[in-house]
Amino acid sequence: MSKKFVRAIFPGSFDPITNGHLDVIERGLKLFDELVIAVGRSPIKNQLFSPEERVEMIEELIRQRKMKGVSVESFDGLTVEYAAKKKADVILRGLRSLTDVQYEFQLAMTNRAVAGIETVFVMTSEQYGFTSSTLIREVASLGGDLSNLIPENVLKRLRKRMKKQIANRKSQSVQHPKPSH
């Protein structure tokens, strides 16, 4: 009996990618023959990095870690449509907490009902159970230390982006001073 080739996609915003995401990717590589990291172009979310910048950062990490059988690209539209286009067998998702389970369960059921695609869940390591890209952006905006939560190449870009945003806010406040009462 021959082994079936299994392609999975790991969709997300990855804005920015975290060590928790990398943990899920490394676990996924042990389960699947090919893993496509699918960087979503969300029209709803307020994004810190462009999809192109996020793909570039992830490509750097793939090269640095010499990951085989993994690729990254951005996509528009529904995840299930992208999965069909890539001929993916499953969608890989990481779980951090009970809150994730409720949301992800509903999403997986919908994806299976709409497109017939299965979702495989991987629990993230305990040390990353609280980490989210949203939390990373908030801590970064307040100048917190993120060196244990995101890869070094991402940390450098994030610090640079935060400095730029702070400088922009300062220049805007100088141009538009608040009226005194």
Strands (E), the chain: 7-12, 34-40, 70-75, 90-95, 118-123
Residue-number span of the structural domain to which 64 is assigned: 7-130
**Predicted local confidence at residue 61, as pLDDT:** 96
Q: Would residue 168 count as lying in a domain? A: no
Q: Which residues contact 135 (CB under 8 A, 6 or more apart)?
A: none
Q: Would residue 140 count as lying in a domain? A: no
Q: Is the pLDDT of residue 97 over 90?
A: no
Residue 151, token pair as written in the block: 């890869």
H or E element, residue 83: helix 79-85
Q: Give the pTM.
A: 0.87
**How would residue 179 be classed by pLDDT, with cut points 50, 70 and 90?**
low
Q: Would residue 44 count as lying in a domain? A: yes
| Total domains in the fold of the chain | 1
**How would residue 20 be classed by pLDDT, with cut points 50, 70 and 90?**
very high
Q: Would residue 11 count as lying in a domain? A: yes
Residue 107, token pair as written in the block: 């999403």
CATH of residue 121's domain is 3.40.50.620
Q: Would residue 107 count as lying in a domain? A: yes
pLDDT in tens, 121-167: 999 998 988 888 889 988 988 888 999 999 999 999 998 988 877 77
Residues annotated as part of the active site: 21, 45, 96, 133
Q: Is the pLDDT of residue 178 over 80?
A: no
Q: Would residue 138 count as lying in a domain? A: no
Q: Would residue 99 count as lying in a domain? A: yes
Q: Would residue 65 count as lying in a domain? A: yes
- The size of the chain, in residues, is 181
pLDDT in tens, 25-81: 999 999 999 999 999 987 766 788 999 999 999 999 999 999 999 999 999 999 999
**How would residue 3 be classed by pLDDT, with cut points 50, 70 and 90?**
confident
Instruction: Give the other-Cβ count within 10 Å of 154's Cβ.
Output: 25
Q: In the Cβ-directed half-sphere of 151, how many Cα atoms lie within 13 Å? A: 21
Q: Is the pLDDT of residue 174 over 80?
A: no
Classify residue 99 by its DSSP letter: H
